Structure 1
């Protein structure tokens, strides 16, 4: 057996435990021998993660449930396989149920034609649905569910004491999860979710990709201001709520106005 390398009491991140990055961050949350997994990643790495769990001496039969942070393929493609191997249940937000149960390749971003990307999206039955304020109990440990829409409409985060398993809301470099209308992004909701995280007394953020980091107001504000700026953009399909540049263009076209220094002289 290998020594466990928790990142916080009761929380093991399986890539960190393995000493190599196999995919998205997969969090094993436990109390005594009972445990849950937050996300599972791609189907091809499911057995690798399960082998890590074996090596740190968690009984496979004691997996209470597999929890999907949201319905993006890089987080949940392996759910059906893991559910079968572990003989357990799957838990998600209600908005993730249809794309997961139907194996919707568009909503889950398993298929992106412009990038010649086409991945399988195995269907999986969702046994439990959770929403904001619900509690997932693992032994005596309580996991508080936060619904933090923005990246997707099904994005969940999970508070355990001073730690928030923060999903694709924000990463240590200030980047955020992709904004894409196909999987239910919402810029205004994203801003509210980031403000909620910023204003909470959570001390540490453990994201779905990359390393853990402190919840710092100045850091969060830089990202919030940038995301809020996306609401005023000139390009169709950006999920903005207004396009000031196009209003300016309307006026300039009507006036026949060109920028100073540009124009044909006769």
Structure 2
């Protein structure tokens, strides 16, 4: 994995969701990916690394990945439009971390497949991977992939929730993720990191 990129993991919430801090050490700029819970804990981790958060990225709109959005309400939130209503309408989403949803104003910015997001000198590529949700996104920077609930260590995301599609998910993984280099490090929404090469060998669904 590229050691010139800062990646820190904060695990939080009842579903033990992985929130990631991605930082560019040269500029000190950073983004938070999937702030699921414990916003103050995330902010403390950011300060420890002497980073400045410029934006929030969402891999999808499920409550366990957005529960701490209220802690970052002044920042732009990048996501796919197909999951917008999950974020705006789900009563659990922003109240999950003790916030009053009615008092939280979010600056949502919508991404399309292959859009680029700048983090200092780093460029993240947005990859639309529907299946777990209609607006599922992965984010690729150099040899690092943040896969949300699309791809796990030895598994894939569930598709039995509203908007889920097993056929779409398998297509997303096959066509957009399995074509990445085998040494691409995968940071999933839950559980331990893996690599594309390991998942090619070990994931029965692929």
Q: Does TM, scored on the shorter chain, surpass 0.5?
A: yes
Structure 1 residues 117-196: aligned runs within 5 Å: 122=101, 124-172=105-153, 174-182=154-162, 184-195=163-174, 196=176
Q: Count residues with an aligned counterpart.
A: 193
What displacement does 1:193 show?
1.2
Using CA pairs under 8 Å that are at least 6 residues apart, name the structure with larger relative contact order, 1 or 2. Answer: 2
TM-score by length of 1: 0.65
Change (3 A) 1:124 1:179: farther
- Higher Rg of the two aligned structures: 1
What displacement does 1:7 show?
8.2
> Equivalents in 1 of 2:173, 2:9: separation in Å?
26
What displacement does 1:218 show?
2.1
Q: Which runs of 5+ in 1 are unaligned?
A: 1-5, 16-20, 112-118, 225-266
Change (3 A) 1:121 1:149: farther
Change (3 A) 1:163 1:102: same
Cα RMSD (Å): 2.5
> Equivalents in 2 of 1:180, 1:82: separation in Å?
30
Partner SS for 1:194: helix
Q: Which runs of 5+ in 2 are unaligned?
A: none
Select the structure that is richer in helix: 1
Select the structure that is richer in strand: 2
Look up the match of 1:223. 205
> Equivalents in 2 of 1:171, 1:99: separation in Å?
22
Structure 1 residues 94-105: aligned runs within 5 Å: 94-105=81-92
Look up the match of 2:64. 74
Match 1:206 to one of 187, 196, 199: 187
